Amino acid sequence: MGFLARSRWLAAVSTEGQQWVVPTRLAIGVLLLCPIDGSIQQLFAFWHADTSALSFGAVATGMILRAVEILAGMSFIAGLGVRLAGYPVVAIFAVRAVANAANSFAWLREVVNGVIVPHGDWGYGAMYFGVALLLGELLGAGSGPWSVDHWLSRKFGAVGKSDSAS
């Protein structure tokens, strides 16, 4: 316990976030667990190439992407490691924003052709872009007062103070 209290791990779970962090964190977790336009694996062209002849690599990559999405969603719901899970989540929402915007803009569709399958429309793209920007605030604020991170930072903080007193 003393090792964790004195290490940089405590800084990763320490949270002094405001009250707005909790509903924002829960909404992002729900968007990851129950995506509006399909999961992240369905946005990549390798998944849609030929469903009868999907290679093992494409199936494995799709499963790994969905697993990352589910783990990050559960992390956001529980408030555990939000600062660490935030980076892949920014990438997930950026891909979703591009995939949704590409369906509405021909020039963007040409740019991402063969890599990302267009879904939705520019409205969903704008929503996902906004969520990705909001994640930048969560990376700085932490996961808020009602989270596993907050509980861990208080627990390890108390252990660190008792170890330094002796």
- What is the domain partition of the chain in residue ranges? 37-152
Which is nearest to 109 in space by CA: 162, 60, 157, 45?
A: 45
pLDDT of the residue at 72: 92
> Which pTM was predicted?
0.73
Instruction: Compute CA 132 distance to the chain's CA centroid, rounded to the nearest angstrom.
Output: 9
pLDDT in tens, the chain (166 residues): 555 555 565 555 555 556 678 888 888 999 899 887 678 877 877 665 555 556 777 778 888 888 999 999 999 999 888 888 888 999 899 988 898 899 888 899 899 888 888 887 888 889 888 888 888 878 887 787 788 888 888 887 755 555 555 4
Terminal Cα-to-Cα distance of the chain (whole angstroms): 15
Q: What does the alpha-carbon distance between residue 158 and residue 154 come to, in Å, rounded to a whole number?
A: 6
Query: Can you give the three-state secondary structure of 81-131, one letter per residue?
Result: CHHHHHHHHHHHHHHHHHHHHHCCCHHHHHHHCCCECCCCCHHHHHHHHHH
Single-letter residue type at 82: V
CA angle 148, 143, 90 (to 5 degrees): 125
Residue 93 CB neighbour total at 10 angstroms: 24
pLDDT of the residue at 63: 84
pLDDT of the residue at 159: 52
Q: What does the alpha-carbon distance between residue 147 and residue 133 come to, in Å, rounded to a whole number?
A: 21
Q: Half-sphere exposure (CA, 13 Å, Cβ side) for 132?
A: 18
pLDDT of the residue at 49: 54
Contact between 141 and 22 under an 8 Å Cβ cutoff? The reply is no
pLDDT of the residue at 38: 72
Contact between 75 and 85 under an 8 Å Cβ cutoff? The reply is yes
